A and B are shown apart, each in its own frame.
Chain A
C-alpha cells in the first residue's frame, strides 16, 4: 500500500483515478463535503464554521452548499457543541463537531468524557454516538496562549473514543471519511502546523483509509521512529539527516492511536531492534509512555537498546517566542537515535 519517493516521503499507491493537489485543510473540507453530499444526516456544527468558513477555512463553502441547518454556526459554547452533538448523534444524525482549537476543549470535557464516550455502554448498545469531533491541535504557528495544545493522552485514557491523527492530505481525507462513517465517537486531531504546509495528490472521488492501520512512512533497518500528526514530518526530516550518517531509520506513522496498530509497530521494532517515540504533548503520562509499555510487553527481548522518547517538556505550552525550545526537533530526534545506537 505504501512506498517512498526520493525524499523518503510516503507515496500512497493510489489507484489510477483523477486526483487534485490538496493541502490537509482542503482534504479535510473535501471529506466533509463528500460525506455530506452522500448522506444528509451528516451535519457540521461549531464556532465560526458557517459564514466564516472556519478559522482555518476547513469548512469553507459548506454553508453555501448545504445551508444553515446542516452547517450550524453555534453560540460560543464548547459544552453545548458537544452536548448537542450527543443528542443529535443518539437520534439519527452524524454530527461533525468542531472545537476551534484543542486548547479550548475543556468546557466540553464533561460532555465528551461523561457522555459521548459512554453512551453506548450506559444504554447497553441501545443508543450510540456516531459523531466526529474535529480539533486543530499542536504547536508551531506562534499563536496566543491556549492555541497549541496536544491533549490526545486525555482521550486515550478515557475509554470510548477512537483517536485519529492524520499527517498528510491523503490520509486526512481518507481517515476523516472513515471517522464520519464510524458508529462510535471519533476524536479527529488535525495538525494545524501543517494544514497548508504542502500539497499532495488526493483522489477527487471518495475513498477511505481504515481506522486502526498504521503506515510505514519510510522504510529503514536500524531504528524505528514512531510518531503521529505533525511529528511524522519532523521524523522524516530527521531520517534524512540520519541517512547522511548511514543510519537507516524506519518511520511508523500510527495514523490512529485508538485502535492502535500494534502489529505494524511491533513488527518494525522487532526488525530494527531500536525505537524512538516522538510526540508534542508533555512527557509524563503522554501516549509515548503507553507505546514504550507495549514495546516492553511484546518486543523486549528483541530490543538492542532502551526505547527513547522525544516529547514536549512537562510545562505549560510556552508562548510563541519560546515554543521552538519546547517542540521536538529534528536534532533532538537524531540525538535520541544516536543514544539507542551507542547503547
Chain B
C-alpha cells in the first residue's frame, strides 16, 4: 500500500505596478490612457470623500465611519473589471466601489449618519446593502452567483470582505458551496492586515488567504492590493472566467488599513507606528500618479483641477445629505413587511400620537 501525493498546490501573487510608478509591461493589462486617468480620478474621489466623512464625524455631523484610506486601488480596479449588470455584495468597508457602482454618495453618508433612508439605493443599482455582522455577506455572494447561474443570466456576483471575516464559519461555507455548485461568484478579500486590533498572523496560521481557495477546489490568487493594475488584471480574469461558466474564484488583495478600524477605534493602542509609516509609502494613489506622470498622462494642472472637482463634488453630496428633511419617526416601521401586521400598525400609531406636535 503506497503512500502517495494526492494533492499539491501553488498560490501565485501578481504585481504589475511598483511603488515608483514603473510597470511590468509583460503583465500590464490593456487599459487605454483615458481609462487609466479615470481610475486615478476614482481613487482620488474615494480618498476625498473618506477624508470628508472623518471630518464630518469629528464635527458630530456623521456617525461611526469605517475609513477606506489605503484600499482605493482594490475598489477602483474591481469596479473597472465589472460589467454593467454584475452584482456587488459588499461588507462594510466598500464605500468606494459602492459609489462607483451607482450608490449615491449622499446615501452612503446618510446610512453611516444613522438615517434609514441611506439604504434606499436607486432601483437599478445592483448592490446589496452594507453587511456589518462580518462574513455573512460571503454567503449572499454565493447565493446571488447561484441565482445568476440558474437563471442563465449574463451577469456575475462580486462579493467583498476583509481578512478578519475569513475566520468566520460563513466564509468557509460560502466558498465551499460556491465550489460545489459552480456559482458565478468572485470573492474579493480586502486583506488590510488588521481586524480591529488583530494582525493577520493572529487571524490565521496560513501564509496567505488566497491559498484557502485550494481547499474548496476553486482558483485563488494573491495580488498587490495597492497596485490597481494587478487588481484590475486579476479581477478581469476572475470575472471573465465565471461569466463564461467556468466557476467561482477568489482574489486576496493585500493592502493596509491606513486608518483606524472605525472612528470609534484608536489604532495607536495596538499598531506599531513604523508599520503605518512603511505602508504610507506604498500609497496606491501616489503610486498610480507616479505612473501617470511618468507616461506623460498627468500633470500638476490636471491634479489641481481634479482635487478641486473632487472636493466640490463631495461638498455637493454633503449639501444634499444635509438638505434632506429629517427622517420621519415611522421610517422604523414602514419597511418591515410587505403588509404590516395589525399589531405593528398599532405600535406605529402609538408612536405617531406620541410625537405629534
Chain A residues within 8 Å of B, Cβ to Cβ: 47-48, 50-53, 55, 73, 75-80, 103-104, 106-107, 142-147, 283-284, 313-316, 318-323, 325-326, 331-332
Contact = CB atoms under 8 A, between A and B. Distances in A.
A51 B336 contact: no
A52 B130 contact: no
A107 B115 contact: no
Interface stretch (B15-23, B82-90, B191-199, B295-303): B191-199
Contacts of B135: 76, 107
Given A55-B264, A73-B197, A314-B347, A325 B134 contact: no
B315 interface: no
Contacts of A284: 343
B164 A322 contact: no
A318 B116 contact: yes
A75 B198 contact: yes
A77 B169 CA distance: 7
Interface in B9-47: none
Interface stretch (B213-221, B251-259, B281-289, B324-332): B324-332
Contacts of A48: 196-198
B180 interface: no
9 contacts: A79-B168, A80-B169, A142-B63, A145-B130, A319-B63, A319-B114, A319-B115, A322-B116, A325-B329
B115 A51 contact: no
B51 interface: no
Contacts of A332: 354
Given A75-B203, A103-B133, A321 B198 contact: no
Interface string B111-141: 1111110100000000000101111000000
A82 to B, nearest CB: 12
- Chain A CB within 10 Å, residue with most, of B134, B195, B264: B134
B247 to A, nearest CB: 27
A315 B269 contact: no
Contact of B111 (A52, A107, A319): A319
B197 A75 contact: no
Nearest to B331: A322
A320 B198 contact: no
A59 to B, nearest CB: 11
A79 B136 CA distance: 13
Contacts of A325: 329, 332, 351, 355
Nearest to A75: B167
A307 to B, nearest CB: 17
A163 to B, nearest CB: 22
A142 B65 CA distance: 12
Contacts of B114: 142, 319-323
Contacts of A316: 332, 336
A32 B243 CA distance: 54
Interface string B166-197: 01111000000000000000000000000111
Nearest to A51: B270
Interface string B319-346: 0000000110101110010000001100
B336 A315 contact: yes
A322 B130 CA distance: 18
B285 to A, nearest CB: 26
A146 B203 contact: no
A319 B327 CA distance: 11
